[in-house]
Structure formats: structure tokens, C-alpha cells
Structure 1
């Protein structure tokens, strides 16, 4: 009996000692599976990315994912594994398959943190049927034919911008900040018939920091969306700890106040809000008050940053490459001498300026506003890309920065700013794979408005001013938190004598 008790005691002691082996075995099996047995095991990529979401989360936090992905695709080719269940795609033939009309590839959970509890959200809605219905309701307000109603409001903002530049001649000017003040004021003008007044005082009211905080927050926490929803559940206890909630909170509340004020004062102007009100009146069930607020707040959140980023890129690359700046100025002066350009420049005139359009395309090719993959979920049937079978449920996506540096499409000098590539006879593939506003059915709804703003402002700026970088050797900084935000475009500007130009 004593011997039996001793054996039992020994057994009881050995079991706890062996328990620590179990998690080691589980971890070892997980690593072996991901590296050698997973359907994605043969897709190359960073070692740690194959094992954990921490790799892509870290780079999303650091703000360098746009540059990292360019280098990884150069090293590994068309497919790069960026997570245990995620692949970045640079295969051109796959773009239409993933993003084309009627696609079965739905947006991933990364977008859920942008949508939160909102029912109407064109950007983040993952159900393609719902998105299609919502887009059809509002697309007319953003269509090309609506631009003629909005162009005069852009002209008003341009007058204010030019006056502010006049006041700052021969001084160092952070033109990057000023074009954001301009873009934000225009959003107020074309959406609410009310400029925010940022250009008047030369500063914003904290909105820029809120938007940037929301972008940075969403960029990384979207990689681990369960953490966002845990925060959402516990927020009544712990309070708000995430910047992304500004998209659903303070910015949305601002839009609500402006909409209510607009109802009180009314207007006969044909701005975007009037068009949204018309949809609401026609279809109040499908497009209710919350939908109106959602669209207005989305204009504020996305409409200013994307245009400002793109405008900064145009100015920066022109000033870094004075030979191309000079050619643009020559086109502007030539059109002015022939009486084919107005002051301010009209959209129709800008569209008939081939070099201006080439400059804009090239700047947005070199620096598309979005620097992260546009993630989609492979349908249950799976898909074959570049000879690899990608199973259903895998997250895949295309990064605009990677596509825009495809040598087969854009030439061997893809890392150089060269507007003249867009003046060649055959630019079909370049336009086909121009990814600055997304692709397919989910292409950016506000692209026409953004293009109009830039088409009008850039020729006005270079027609009336000689711009120079304060430090011609300085390189701007880039932070990719979904949008790739730049800093460091500081210039001096002086009025040109256009009468003698």
C-alpha cells in the first residue's frame, strides 16, 4: 500500500512538470503548419508575416508599408505573403478579377473599423449588393455633369487662396499646409455652401489632427479588427482610446450641426447637400437622415486629405524637376496669349491642356494618395493567381504604389517623375492600370471633384507665381496611414509679370 501511494505521488508530480510541454508543442505545430503545410506556404514573404498579424500591424503603425511593399514585390515577384492568411498581389491580370464589376471579392474586416455601427457607408460597406444600392442613390451628386454646378464654388475658394498667397510673397510658405486649408474650405463650400474659413485665418481648428489621428488609428487596428470591437464593447468602462472613433463622433457631429443649420437658413445653391436632400426627399426610406449625415461627414473626412495630398505631389514634383515645371508654364502662357485660358481657369480649358493633364497623372502615379493594399476576401471557390492557388477566405489586395511602379506598364524609369510618358500615342495600359482612385465598382466616388479642384488650382498657381523650394535638396517626409501624408513642401513665391510672359 505504501509503495502504491508512492507511485501515485510520483505520477502526480510528473504530470504538472509535463504540462509546460503542451504549449510548446502547439506553437511548434502552428509554426510548422504555417511554414510548410498552409495553402499559402509557397507564397514568399517576410518570415514573421507568415506567423502573425504583428508584422503588418507594426508597419501599419510605423507608416512605411507603402515603401516596404514596393521592395518586397521587387524581391519576391507578383505575390507576397503579408500575414498568415493574407497576400499582396501585383499581378496585373488579377486586378480586374479582384475589383471588377460584379466581383465576388468582398471587402475584408479591415474596413469594419471604418464603418463602426454606421448603416450607410459607401467607403466601408462590405456587402456588394448593399453598396450597389447605396452608390446608385448618390452617384448623380458626384457625376461629371454635376461639376458645372460646383465649379463656381471652387472659383470662389481659388480667389481667396490667391489673395492669401499675394500676402505671403517673398516669404517662406508651407504650401503643403495651405493646399490642405484650401481643400478643406472647398469641401465646406461645395458640400454646405459655407467655407470653413481656414484660409482666412491661415490655420485649421484642430480638424486636421483629428483626421490624421483617425487615419493612423484605423491603419493599424484595422489589421486586428477584433481589438477595435473589444474597445467598442468596453468603451463605456474605459472611455475612448482610439482616434478612429472621431470618424463616428466629432466629425460626424460637426456634419450634423451644419446640416441642421442649413435646414434653418436654406439656400438656392446647387451644392452637394442640396442634391443629397433631393435624394432624401425622393426616397426617404432608402436614404434617411443618417444617410445624409454619413455622406456629408465622409466628404469632410476624405475629400480634403486626398485632394491636398495629390496637390502637394504635383507642386513638389514640379519644383523638384524644374525642366517639367518650365514646360507647364510655357503651355499656360501659350494658351493665355492665344486667349484660350481664363482667369480663373475653367475646367473645360484645363481638360484641353495636355501637358497639365500629363503632369497631374504623373504626380498621382508617383504618389497615389492611398498607400496600403485595398484588401478583399477571396470567395469560397478560391482563385488562381500567378500559378498559385489562393483558397477561399484568404485576404488579398493590390497596393497602388506597387502597381504604379510596374516596369511593363510604365517603363524602365518608373522611379522617376516624367510627365512626358503620358504624351505618347499609346497610353492605354497606363490609364487602365492607373490606380490612384482605386479600380472597378468601388472606384472613389469623389474623384471627379478632386480632379476638378486640382485642374483649376495648379494652372492658376503657376500662371501667376514663380514658385521655388526654400531648400532644393530637402526631401519631404511620408507617413502612410492609409493615406500617404507628406510634410516639408516649403516654398517662396513671387508674382510673375504675365503681361510680358
Structure 2
């Protein structure tokens, strides 16, 4: 009897949920928005497609077919535990972003160049050793080792050791990969997060897993830094003052801000600043470096043209072993190559989403009520033929070197590998610093040969928010320097 009642009750609940889904699809104010029929009922279709790891390709196809697609988004089930990336409180996000802005500004870049040079030297040494061995190597992995050690130096004044050993130090790379996959999938049904996260951490043991593991790793690095040095005085002349070139790491700057006003810049601010560097400071740059080298190797004419630009400046004595960031800004072909690589393969591969404000908004002839989540995928924007031309799907750095200011302005407005507006990536200048300095060093000092499979086919990638290459294998030859 009791079992029969339970079965009837369960059936009734299921029927109600099905009816609610049906009424939602029929009476939703978004029912006229084109898109796959399955998406009108729930997000299972979206979860399935995201789980396949190729949604940037799906999104381009969907956009061509339907023009508009509306999605759900990541949300933060712990609004008191903000981070710059996930905080949906616009006022708090703006206030907290201002707290960090100085450390990431363009004017602060000069103080980080020595850190980049140190890692570039060690990276070059590793590549020479790989060249001597004559074996294939995964450049995607080595680029992440490089980017992680740079961000470690910039954040803590300590290289984390990825370039020294060439492997995953303390499992942090695996933890980041796990975090991205988890956040990407569970973020679609974010109500599950408060239940799944404790279970995942319990199963993983005392170190936790995913982002929890990365936070623990970060706290350990902060503790090491505290034991090695004291925070600089508030009036220290090296604290983000224009024109100063002394290397001062993020953590030292954060401790200084905390000492100056611990209520305004709390220890939580300090920890979240470092965690953000760990979570976003290696994958994005490594992917962008991989994309730049990949497209250079797939397009030898472009590679040779860039090498000619670098060699000419080398022979004129304009650049030396360590190419300064300022010097790279006077290399137009280099900048066009990087810009085009980031257009072809932006690091982020899911829609950059926004919530429609009160009053709703009309876009592309359709009205979206308040609370609707809308967004554009960078991959979709960057393949727009009406903006970038009929060859938008082709790697062509020369598109950025045309003598047409109006068209360049239009392309620039649609070029968004670091996002746009108030949510633009706060670390974009550091990423460009690393890329602008390393790419010419690699092109100048080494020859690379793609694995036969990559010569014949496009590379394989996996999209879990970041679109990461898989098995970007090359052989390396140390180049004879031009006379």
C-alpha cells in the first residue's frame, strides 16, 4: 500500500514537472527566439553539447543557422565568497576590480619584464635539450609550464618549478583542468554545486580537488612568502609608482595594500588576487602561445615574414638577446601575427554572458525581458565575415596591416579575446607581455617541424571554457644565427 502511494506520488511529481516544462516552452516570452527545439524545455541539450568539448564549433554552426541563441550561465551559489570572475554583484565587482587594477596596469608591466626574461631563458634551455634529444615534444604542455612559472614569479617572486622539471608540480595543472571541467558542466545546473562540491572534496581527501585544491596550493605559497619576507612599507617607492622598474611581486603589493587599509583590502582580497592568477594566469597565455606558434607553422610564408622582421632588427642592433616589450611594440608584423592568432583561436570558447537589466532590451529585432541571460561567443564574433571579410576563417595577419582606418576600427571593436567592457580580463596586459617577448625569441632561435598528423590535419582541442590544444607535437632544431 505504502509503495503504491509512493509510486503514485512520484508519478504525479514527474507529471507536474513535465507540464511545467511544456508551459514554459509554450508561454515563455522567449518562445519566438530561434534555436534548437530541445533548448526550449531545459538545459540538458546544452549540457550534452558542452560535455562533448567542441562547443565553440557548435556555437558557430548554431549562429549561422539561427542567428540568435540564448543560454544559461555559470552562477555563484555562494555570493558572499566572491571572485572577480564569477561575482554577479556589479557594484561589488567594480569596487573590488579597482582594488587590483594598479597591479595589472600597463604602466606596471615594466616591473615584471625581468621575471619574464628569467623564465624565457630557462624555457630556451629546455628547448635546446629537447632539440638535442631529437624527439617530439608537446609544445602546449611546455607553454603552460612557461606561463605558470612566469605567473609564479610575478605573484610570489618564486618560480614554481614547472620549467625545471617539465611536469605537473604538486598536481596543480590536473587540479585546474578538473576545476574547469567541473565548473563548465555543473555551472549549467549551479543549484547542484553546494551539494556536489563537499562530496568531491570529501572523496579527494584533505587536500580537496579542483578549485579547492588550487586555493590550498595558493595558501601554501602565501605562507612561504610570509615566512621568507615581510610586507614592504606603505610608503615604499617601489609600490606601483610610474617610471619605477624594480621588480615587485603581486603578493608584496597586496600585503602593502592590506597593511595600509586592512578593512578595505582584506586578507580575503589578498588570497583571491593570488588564486585568480593561478586559475587564469597560465591556461589562457599557454593556449594563446600555442595558437600563435601553431598558425605560424601551418603558414610558413607568415613564419618566414615574421623571422625577417626579427632578423632585420637584430642585425641593426635594435634588439638584443632579451627583446624588450617596448621593442616588440615597434614590430608591426609580430603584433599582427599575435592579434590574428588570438582572433582565430581565442582562449575562451563559451559565450561571454550578461543578464538583461530591468525594463528588458531589444536586440536583433527581438525583445528580451529582464533577467534573460544572453551572450556572444568570441569564436562566433571572430568568424563574422561581415566584419573580418570573406576570408574570416583563414589565418591572415595582413588583414591588420591595411591602410583603411575605418575598417580597422570596425575589426578592433569586434576583436575580443580578452572580453569587453567592465569584465575585460584584468590580466590581459601580462598575457600580452609574455607573448610579445617570447614569440620573437622562439622564431629567432629555433626551427620547429609539426608532427606528420598535424601537417595533414587540424589540431585537436577540448573546450571546457578554455579551448586547449591536445598533443601539439613538434620536433625542434636550434637555428644557426644569421650572419
Tell me the TM-score normalized by structure 1.
0.86
Pair 1:210 & 2:175 matched: yes
1:225 is matched with: 190
1:321 is matched with: 299
Distance 1:171 1:20, change over 3 A: closer
1:6 is matched with: none
Q: Across the two proteins, how many residue pairs are aligned to each other?
A: 454
Please give the alpha-carbon distance, in whole angstroms, between the structure 2 residues aligned to 1:403 and 1:341. 36
Tell me the TM-score normalized by structure 2.
0.89
1:296-322 alpha-carbon deviations (Å, 9 max, x no partner): 111011100000010000000110111
On the 8 A contact 2:175/2:211 being kept in 1, the answer is: no
Please give the alpha-carbon distance, in whole angstroms, between the structure 2 residues aligned to 1:120 and 1:481. 21
Please give the alpha-carbon distance, in whole angstroms, between the structure 2 residues aligned to 1:157 and 1:22. 59
Report how far residue 250 of structure 1 moved: 1.7
Please give the alpha-carbon distance, in whole angstroms, between the structure 2 residues aligned to 1:245 and 1:49. 34
Q: State which of 33, 38, 42 in structure 1 corresponds to 2:32.
A: 42
Report how far residue 349 of structure 1 moved: 0.7
- Any residues of structure 2 matched to 1:208-287 within 5 Å, and which? 208-232=173-197, 235=199, 239-240=202-203, 246=209, 248-266=211-229, 269-287=247-265
Pair 1:486 & 2:457 matched: no
Distance 1:271 1:25, change over 3 A: closer
Distance 1:383 1:139, change over 3 A: same
Q: State which of 189, 192, 211 in structure 1 corresponds to 2:153.
A: 189
- Any residues of structure 2 matched to 1:93-108 within 5 Å, and which? none
Distance 1:209 1:339, change over 3 A: same
2:237 is matched with: none
Distance 1:338 1:26, change over 3 A: closer
Runs of 4+ in 1 over 4 A off after TM superposition: 16-26
C-alpha RMSD of the superposition: 2.5
SS of the residue 1:168 aligns to: helix
Q: State which of 72, 76, 81 in structure 2 corresponds to 1:119.
A: 81
Q: State which of 89, 99, 102 in structure 2 corresponds to 1:140.
A: 102
Q: State which of 149, 152, 172 in structure 1 corresponds to 2:136.
A: 172
Q: State which of 424, 448, 455 in structure 2 corresponds to 1:443.
A: 424
1:105 is matched with: none
Distance 1:25 1:430, change over 3 A: same
Q: State which of 160, 165, 170 in structure 2 corresponds to 1:201.
A: 165
1:366 is matched with: 344
2:334 is matched with: 356
Please give the alpha-carbon distance, in whole angstroms, between the structure 1 residues aligned to 2:466 and 2:141. 16
Q: State which of 107, 124, 128 in structure 1 corresponds to 2:90.
A: 128
Please give the alpha-carbon distance, in whole angstroms, between the structure 2 residues aligned to 1:25 and 1:235. 30
Q: Which runs of 5+ in 2 are unaligned?
A: 1-6, 233-246
Report how far residue 289 of structure 1 moved: 1.2
Distance 1:241 1:56, change over 3 A: farther
1:53-90 alpha-carbon deviations (Å, 9 max, x no partner): 1011112222121111100001112x1244xxx5xxxx
